Amino acid sequence: MTPPASLLRVLQVTRPCFTKHSFETFCHLAAGMVAQTGRRTVTGMLTGAGLSRLWPHRRAHAFFSWASWDPDRLGLRLARAVVEALLPVDAPVPVVIDDTLLHRAGKKVFGVLWAHEGSGRGKDKLGFGNTWVICAVVVRLQFLTKQIALPVAARLWRGKGTASRTDLALEMAHDLAALFPDRTLHVAGGAAYHSGKVADLPGTVTFTTRLSRNAALFEPTPPRTNKRGRPRKRGAALGSLTTIAKAANWCLTVVERYGRTEFVWITELECLWCGAFRDLPVRLVLVRDPDSTNPYDLALIGTDHINTADGLVERYGTRRPIEPVLERMRGDLGVGQARNRPRRAVERTVPFGLAVYTIVVLWYTAHGHHPADITARLCGKS
pLDDT per residue as tens digits for the range 253-277: 999 887 788 999 999 999 999 878 8
Give the global pTM.
0.91
**Contacts of residue 142, Cβ cutoff 8 Å, sequence gap at least 6:** 369
pLDDT reading at 65 higher than 60: yes
> How far apart are alpha carbons 282 and 273 in whole angstroms?
7
> How far apart are alpha carbons 148 and 361 in whole angstroms?
10
Report pLDDT for 142.
85
pLDDT per residue as tens digits for the range 284-318: 999 999 999 999 999 999 999 999 999 999 999 88
Residue 220 domain flag: yes
Query: Is-contact 283 269, C-beta < 8 A?
Result: yes
Residue 353 domain flag: no
Residue 259 domain flag: yes
Radius of gyration of the chain measured on its C-alpha atoms = 23
Residue 76 domain flag: no
Report pLDDT for 376.
66
pLDDT reading at 16 higher than 90: yes
> How far apart are alpha carbons 42 and 151 in whole angstroms?
21
Report the residue count for the chain: 382
Report pLDDT for 196.
87
pLDDT per residue as tens digits for the range 84-93: 999 999 899 9
Highest mean pLDDT among 12-26, 213-227, 367-381 belongs to: 12-26
Give 378 or 13, the one with higher predicted confidence. 13
> How far apart are alpha carbons 172 and 93 in whole angstroms?
14
Angle in degrees, CA 130, 29, 7, rounded to 5: 120
pLDDT per residue as tens digits for the range 169-202: 999 999 999 999 999 999 999 988 988 899 899 9
Residue 226 domain flag: yes
SS3 track for the chain: CCCCHHHHHHHHHHHHHCCHHHHHHHHHHHHHHHHCCCCCCHHHHHHHCCCCCCCCHHHHHHHHHCCCCCHHHHHHHHHHHHHHHHCCCCCCEEEEEEEEEEECCCCCCCCCEEEECCCCCCCCCEEEEEEEEEEEEEECCCCCCCCEEEEEEEEEECCCCCCCHHHHHHHHHHHHHHHCCCCCEEEEECCCCCCHHHHHCCCCEEEEEECCCCCCEECCCCCCCCCCCCCCCCCCEEECHHHHHHHCCCEEEEEEECCEEEEEEEEEEEEECHHHHCCCEEEEEEEECCCCCCCCCEEEEECCCCCCHHHHHHHHHCCCCHHHHHHHHHHCCCCCCCCCCCHHHHHHHHHHHHHHHHHHHHHHHHHHCCHHHHHHHHCCCC
Average pLDDT over residues 233-254: 92
Query: Is-contact 352 134, C-beta < 8 A?
Result: no
Average pLDDT over residues 238-261: 91
Residue 242 domain flag: yes
Question: Which residue, among 122, 121, 102, 120, has the nearest Cα to 112 in the 3D structure?
Answer: 102
Give 233 or 16, the one with higher predicted confidence. 16
pLDDT reading at 213 higher than 70: yes
pLDDT reading at 1 higher than 90: no
Average pLDDT over residues 35-55: 93
Residue 358 domain flag: no
Report pLDDT for 342.
95
pLDDT band at 382 (very low <50, low <70, confident <90, very high): very low
Average pLDDT over residues 66-72: 94
Residue 213 domain flag: yes
What is the domain count for the chain? Answer: 1
Report pLDDT for 263.
94
Query: Mean pLDDT in the chain?
Result: 91
pLDDT per residue as tens digits for the range 122-164: 777 889 999 999 999 999 998 888 899 999 999 999 998 999 9
Report pLDDT for 58.
95
Report pLDDT for 274.
83
State the residue range of the domain holding 223.
208-308
Question: Which residue, among 146, 148, 135, 64, has the nearest Cα to 100 in the 3D structure?
Answer: 135
